[in-house]
């Protein structure tokens, strides 16, 4: 029998997110690292919560698969232990905090964005883009989110395609440096350059130094939108979670710049949440497209068929798509300069 139960799941989706975000804000999962357990009373005492809220929070987190319970004791699930403990290599809490603090309230005005076709998280009349800001708190939040999403996505990409024949990678709009860091960890012979705005390069450099990869990863300041060319001397040009920020004309221009920057035999790699050709899903890609409405002027999520067409139009050959599973991308589209 058809029931409205799936619709109730959509209606209450924010309950799950806000419960999750509150637990991350309280550092619940970091407190439970390495197999530590807490009862409701102990959790309430450590978190500064009365008994009833502590009980409800722990029960809700268990229902979401974030905690496990044995008797009266709660512990991290394997998922929480791997990705929600602060300081772990693939800590995902930055993405949770960013969405909670930066995009959750603007999403309440999604109807306004649909009617106006204008972003909600920044003002196009005073800023060139959402990345044009001197607000240190916003920068820290955004790039922390991008790093936590990108670092595991880069790991998945490294396992999905063979980059071992290539020696020098240019990460266009490389932001926090997560992709080069993870790819260089996986490929000892690879060297990389992060190409981004000057203040973003400073953030990337900090992460590169922390990863002890300063001898293999460099930064180069520039603006991939306004600079007429991309830095040369690389045999792979990577656009990781970048092209969904811009319209078709901008993306075609960027792919053309990549083609000109590469030597024959070089590759362009586009890593994204890819829509299917019919533009009916998958849901993470389609909903990320809605988030582009909230956060960008012309961005949207595109299908692999669209990227393949644009790459072919720029002159790339042997264009193909490789799928994988990761939080920031579900595949890559690859082209070779003949």
Residues known to be catalytic:
244
Distance CA 124, CA 127 (A): 5
Helices vs. strands in the chain: H and E counts, helices first:
15, 9
Joined together, the tokens standing for residue 194 give 């992060």
> Which residues are paired to 275 by β-bridges?
303
CA nearest to 321, candidates 283, 291, 285: 285
> Which residues are paired to 73 by β-bridges?
70
Q: What dihedral angle (degrees, nearest 10) is formed by the CA atoms of 208, 214, 216, 218? A: 70
> With 0-12 CB in 10 A as exposed, 13-18 as middle and 19+ as buried, what is 26?
middle
Pair 130, 291: CB distance under 8 Å: no
Residue 134, SS3?
coil
Joined together, the tokens standing for residue 121 give 């998280």
Buried b (16+ CB within 10 A) or exposed e, 84-114: bbeeeebbbbbbbbbbbebeeebbeeeeebe
156: which residues sit within 8 A by CB, 6+ positions away? 324, 325, 326, 329
In terms of residues, how long is the chain?
A: 338
Residue entry with tokens 């990108």: 150
DSSP one-letter code for 164? T
HSE of 22 in the Cβ direction (CA atoms, 13 Å)?
15
Joined together, the tokens standing for residue 102 give 């930066």
């Amino acid at each position: 029998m058809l029931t409205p139960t799936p619709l109730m799941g959509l209606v209450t989706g924010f309950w799950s997110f806000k419960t999750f975000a509150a637990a991350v804000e309280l550092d619940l999962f970091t407190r439970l690292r390495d197999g530590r357990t807490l009862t409701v009373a102990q959790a309430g005492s450590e978190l500064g919560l009365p008994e009833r809220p502590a009980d409800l929070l722990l029960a809700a987190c268990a229902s979401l698969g974030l905690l496990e319970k044995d008797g009266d004791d709660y512990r991290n699930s394997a998922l929480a232990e791997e990705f929600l403990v602060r300081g772990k290599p693939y800590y995902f809490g930055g993405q949770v905090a960013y969405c909670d603090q930066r995009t959750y309230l603007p999403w309440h005005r999604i109807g306004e964005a649909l009617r106006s076709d204008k972003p909600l998280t920044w003002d196009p009349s005073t800023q060139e883009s959402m990345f044009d800001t001197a607000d240190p708190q916003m920068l820290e939040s955004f790039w922390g989110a991008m790093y936590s999403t990108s670092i595991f996505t880069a790991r998945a990409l490294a396992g999905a395609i063979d980059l071992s024949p290539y020696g020098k990678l240019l990460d266009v709009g490389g932001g926090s440096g997560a992709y080069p860091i993870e790819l260089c960890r996986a490929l000892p012979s690879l060297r990389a350059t992060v190409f981004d705005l000057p203040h973003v390069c400073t953030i990337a450099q900090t992460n590169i130094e922390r990863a002890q990869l300063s001898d293999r990863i460099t930064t180069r300041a520039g603006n991939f939108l306004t600079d007429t060319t991309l830095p040369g001397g690389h045999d792979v040009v990577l656009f990781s979670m970048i092209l969904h920020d811009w319209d078709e004309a901008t993306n075609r221009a960027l792919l053309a710049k990549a083609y000109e920057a590469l030597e024959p035999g070089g590759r362009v790699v586009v890593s994204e949440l890819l829509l299917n050709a019919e533009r009916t899903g998958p849901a993470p890609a389609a909903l990320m497209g809605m988030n582009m409405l909230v956060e960008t002027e012309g961005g949207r999520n595109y299908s692999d068929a669209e990227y393949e067409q644009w790459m072919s139009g720029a002159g790339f050959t042997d264009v193909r798509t490789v799928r994988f599973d990761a939080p920031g991308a579900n595949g890559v589209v690859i082209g070779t300069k003949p």
